[in-house]
DNA sequence: CGGGACGCCTGTGAGC
DNA sequence: TGCTCACAGGCGTCCC
């Protein structure tokens, strides 16, 4: 699934319902991206805290009686989704690779491609979690990320702006869909080296990223194939994508055909007429 | 070091 | 119908 809106929509759809639950058992399916890093039996009896999000990661705090708090860092990879169900859980299917049975219900990770991860860490800023989160940029709605700072960060990269957005080292959360959409909204050619973007255009891009992500959040994210929130609901943003997945269709602004090219091994969709270098 | 390619996996849809 | 191929929302790692 997995850009920031989908992860955040998922978080909101189960965080309140699982908070305070007592862990009863864990079930691991096929290996995910990394090993759990902890004996599952040792987590039985832990109390679930408030689920947080950092970038496209979720942090599920688990308080154990006999040791300082730790938790599970979850990532949904390309094809993962989480479901939280109270009551009688369905039997695990072939793509269900992590089950957290609790006193309030079952949190289940379904991930056909298994690029996702569930990793134990002693703290959000410790162990494996610290390593994985170390290089992340600002949260998109972090007010500390001013247009000036955004522009200054872009000035330090010569890579195409699309790749800079995807890398998440300046600003996290925009994956392939939203990076394409934000660049379209800002009228910026995805091939433009980041350091050639003027201050006013950087400000416009930052606003476009925020507006695109906010819009996707409001629409429950994008469901291209498998994304569902933890209630099993589809997202709707994909229905209003302006360029993503629309190769050869008319640009909604100028009617020129939307083009596709490959950058950093990923498809980029854009309008060569509206998006300027 | 910045920047780019690779690989992890499975599923789906297009084209033949 | 059945096969092969390209492609898919991410990201850590390795190489130059």
Least confident of A11-20, A118-127, A196-205, A231-240: A231-240
| pLDDT score recorded for residue A129 | 94
| pLDDT score recorded for residue A72 | 97
Q: Which of A11, A38, A56, A114 is catalytic?
A: A56
Last residue of a domain, one of A73, A101, A133: A133
Contact at 8 Å (CB) between A83 and A75?
A: no
Instruction: Tell me: do A94 and A186 sit in the same domain.
Output: no
A158: CB within 7 A of chain B nucleic strand: yes
A22: CB within 7 A of chain B nucleic strand: no
Any domain includes A140: no
Any domain includes A209: yes
A1, pLDDT greater than 70: no
Q: Kindly report, residue by residue over A25-83, the tens digit of the pLDDT.
A: 999 999 999 999 999 999 999 999 999 999 999 999 999 988 888 999 999 999 999 99
Q: Which nucleotide in the DNA or RNA is closest to residue A79, CA to C1'?
A: C9
Instruction: Tell me: do A157 and A244 sit in the same domain.
Output: yes
Locate A29 and state its tokens.
């399916």
pLDDT category at A222 given cuts 50, 70, 90 is: confident
- Average pLDDT value for chain A: 94
d(CA A208, CA A187): 10
Closest CA to A2 of A40, A26, A33: A33
Please tell me which of A223-227, A229-233, A270-274 the model is most confident about, judged by mean pLDDT.
A270-274
A154: CB within 7 A of chain C nucleic strand: no
Q: Kindly report, residue by residue over A139-180, the tens digit of the pLDDT.
A: 999 999 999 999 999 999 999 999 999 999 999 999 999 999
Any domain includes A142: no
Instruction: Tell me: do A129 and A21 sit in the same domain.
Output: yes
A94: CB within 7 A of chain B nucleic strand: yes
Mean pLDDT on A86-110: 94
The integer distance in angstroms from the CA atom of A268 to the C1' atom of C10 is 15
d(CA A265, CA A155): 23
Last residue of a domain, one of A77, A99, A133: A133
**% residues pLDDT > 70 (chain A):** 100
Nucleotides of B under 7 A from a protein CB: 2-12
The residue whose two tokens read 């055909």 is A257
Instruction: Tell me: do A166 and A49 sit in the same domain.
Output: no
Catalytic annotation present for A210: no
A95: CB within 7 A of chain B nucleic strand: yes
* Full domain range(s) for residue A88: 4-133
A34: CB within 7 A of chain C nucleic strand: no
The integer distance in angstroms from the CA atom of A274 to the C1' atom of B15 is 33
Any domain includes A45: yes
The number of distinct structural domains making up chain A is 2
Q: Kindly report, residue by residue over A102-146, the tens digit of the pLDDT.
A: 999 999 999 999 999 999 999 999 999 999 999 999 999 999 999
Instruction: Tell me: do A92 and A164 sit in the same domain.
Output: no
Locate A183 and state its tokens.
């660049």
Instruction: Tell me: do A60 and A109 sit in the same domain.
Output: yes
| pLDDT score recorded for residue A145 | 96
Contact at 8 Å (CB) between A17 and A91?
A: no
Catalytic annotation present for A94: no
d(CA A258, CA A244): 9
**% residues pLDDT > 90 (chain A):** 88
| pLDDT score recorded for residue A236 | 85
pLDDT category at A88 given cuts 50, 70, 90 is: confident
Cα A244 off chain centre by:
17
Catalytic annotation present for A3: yes
d(CA A165, CA A157): 11
Measuring alpha carbon to C1', the residue closest to nucleotide C7 is A267
Q: Which nucleotide in the DNA or RNA is closest to residue A224, CA to C1'?
A: C9
Instruction: Tell me: do A75 and A20 sit in the same domain.
Output: yes
A167: CB within 7 A of chain C nucleic strand: no
Looking up residue A11, the CATH number of its domain turns out to be 3.20.190.10
Measuring alpha carbon to C1', the residue closest to nucleotide C12 is A132
Last residue of a domain, one of A133, A163, A186: A133
Locate A205 and state its tokens.
């891009």
| pLDDT score recorded for residue A146 | 96
| pLDDT score recorded for residue A20 | 98
The integer distance in angstroms from the CA atom of A160 to the C1' atom of B4 is 12
The residue whose two tokens read 């992860």 is A7
């Amino acid at each position: 699934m997995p850009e920031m809106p989908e992860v955040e929509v998922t978080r909101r759809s189960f965080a309140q319902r699982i908070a305070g639950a007592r862990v009863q058992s864990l079930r691991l399916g096929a290996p995910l991206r990394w090993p759990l890093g902890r004996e599952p039996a040792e987590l039985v009896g832990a109390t679930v805290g408030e689920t947080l999000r950092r970038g496209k990661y979720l942090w599920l705090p688990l308080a154990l009686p006999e040791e300082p708090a730790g938790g599970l860092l979850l990532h949904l990879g390309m094809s993962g989704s989480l479901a939280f169900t109270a009551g009688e859980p369905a039997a695990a299917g072939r793509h269900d690779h992590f089950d957290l049975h609790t006193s309030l219900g079952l949190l289940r990770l379904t991930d056909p491609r298994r690029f996702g991860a569930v990793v134990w860490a002693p703290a959000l800023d410790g162990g494996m979690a610290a390593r994985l989160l170390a290089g992340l940029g600002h949260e998109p709605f972090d007010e500390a990320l001013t247009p000036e700072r955004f522009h200054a960060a872009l000035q330090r990269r010569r890579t195409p702006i699309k790749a800079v957005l995807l890398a998440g080292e300046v600003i996290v959360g925009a994956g392939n869909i939203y990076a394409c959409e934000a660049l379209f909204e800002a009228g910026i050619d995805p091939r433009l080296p980041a350091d050639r973007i003027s201050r006013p255009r950087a400000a416009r891009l930052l606003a476009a990223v925020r507006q695109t992500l906010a819009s996707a959040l409001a629409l429950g994210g994008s469901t291209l194939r498998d994304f569902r929130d933890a209630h099993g609901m589809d997202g709707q943003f994909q229905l209003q994508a302006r360029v993503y997945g629309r190769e050869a269709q008319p640009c909604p602004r100028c009617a020129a055909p939307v083009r596709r090219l490959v950058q950093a091994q990923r498809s980029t969709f854009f309008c060569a007429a509206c998006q300027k270098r």
